[in-house]
Amino acid sequence: MKYQPRVKKPPIKAAPGTGSGVHPVEVPRSVTGSKGDAWVVSLPFGPPAAESAVLAFDTGWDSTTIVIGEAHGPAPRVHPGHDVAIVVPAGAGELRRGDGPETLEAERYTGPCTLIVPAGTWHAVVAHPGSGPMTAFFTRPGQVIDPFSVVGPRAEPGLVHLDTLPVSPWPMTPAKVVTVPRAGAGTGSAEPAAPAPTRPARVVPYEEPGETFALPLDTGSDTLFVMTSRGRSWDRAPVDVPVHRHDREDEYIVLDRGEGWLLNGGTQDSVIRTAWAAPCVLVMPSGNFHRVVRTDDEIGAAILVYAHRGQVTASWEGIVAEMVTGEVTT
């Protein structure tokens, strides 16, 4: 790590909640109270190979499943029990959507944009050659995320001193690389497992993030909130660190560059710090004080999302088993 402490650190204490030897990723999260310690998922360097995708976050008992790469493929498909939000930072293509695999209508998209596909909607995402990797977030319908103008002020603030925080013993958890499912995959029913979508599948353009951030999805009516940013951290290696916690929203950040500390704890007195190095996903369950501290000087891109703590999204294996696919269209 590049961070050099400004004061002499006290002896490292045993991090609270880590004495059982069980990594936080293996502990089921409660829908009430603190949902547990934060952790980091390490991602492969560079985009995934053709016809493969990276399972950036895939537990089967959390509020989203995150897939980077060609998560959909060219075949039309429907996810009866999951909404899908796909962040497209660059590139172009078509979002095809409709009531059935034979009646898809095409809408062109150009990044940066977000593709929104409600549960029960037949769709296909066909990227033009040379387009960069997409990041898909799967969520359960029914629990919407309030606008950022509401979620931000509602967060409970706190303050910790970085150099006195115990260091978590947990290493980063490696992501998995899988083959993209093709036509004929899945054994589920095309009947929606949730009420009919109130909004159609759609393309939502957003501005390229500059010195601050952009909001690719911030409607107050969808099951995901998305913020993107690009640049250097404005407060690298602080001494006194403002922390905060959300009671309703789980938070995830996908980072392509940088390194630092992920702070997390059920109370201000129990906050611990976990080392991270990009590319990675930072996982911050709701109910805990948290903050991300960067100690590098790199220009990097980040995708931050909120998903509702009460959702339980299926693992990628469950999502593939649920979906129904049709024949590839041209």
183-194: average pLDDT: 63
- In this prediction, residue 7 carries a pLDDT of 32
Distance CA 253, CA 282 (A): 5
294-314: average pLDDT: 93
In terms of Cα–Cα distance, which of 222, 216, 213, 214 is closest to 204?
216
pTM of the model: 0.90
Confidence of residue 297 (pLDDT cuts 50, 70, 90): confident
Between 88 and 30, the higher pLDDT residue: 88
Between 272 and 46, the higher pLDDT residue: 272
- In this prediction, residue 17 carries a pLDDT of 45
Q: Does an H or E element contain 317, and which?
A: helix 316-322
- In this prediction, residue 184 carries a pLDDT of 61
208-236: average pLDDT: 89
Q: Which domains, and CATH codes, for the chain?
A: 24-325 (2.60.120.10)
- In this prediction, residue 33 carries a pLDDT of 79
Structure tokens at 167: 């260091």
Between 195 and 229, the higher pLDDT residue: 229
Contact by Cβ (8 Å): 314, 279:
no
Percentage of residues of the chain with pLDDT beyond 90 = 62
Distance CA 205, CA 109 (A): 8
130-147: average pLDDT: 92
Confidence of residue 67 (pLDDT cuts 50, 70, 90): very high
The residue behind tokens 């469950």 is 318
- In this prediction, residue 183 carries a pLDDT of 58
In terms of Cα–Cα distance, which of 225, 218, 279 is closest to 254?
279
Whether 29 shows a pLDDT value over 80: the answer reads yes
- In this prediction, residue 285 carries a pLDDT of 94
Over residues 261-286, the pLDDT tens digits come to 999 999 999 999 999 999 999 999 99
What mean pLDDT is reported for the chain? 86
- In this prediction, residue 18 carries a pLDDT of 43
Over residues 148-182, the pLDDT tens digits come to 999 999 999 999 999 999 999 999 999 999 887 76
- In this prediction, residue 1 carries a pLDDT of 26
Q: Which of 24-33, 100-109, 118-127, 294-303 has the lowest mean pLDDT?
A: 24-33
CA distances (Å), 199 to each of 121, 135, 170, 222, in order?
Answer: 10, 21, 41, 9
Confidence of residue 292 (pLDDT cuts 50, 70, 90): very high
- In this prediction, residue 186 carries a pLDDT of 62
- In this prediction, residue 14 carries a pLDDT of 40
Whether 147 shows a pLDDT value over 50: the answer reads yes
Between 144 and 4, the higher pLDDT residue: 144
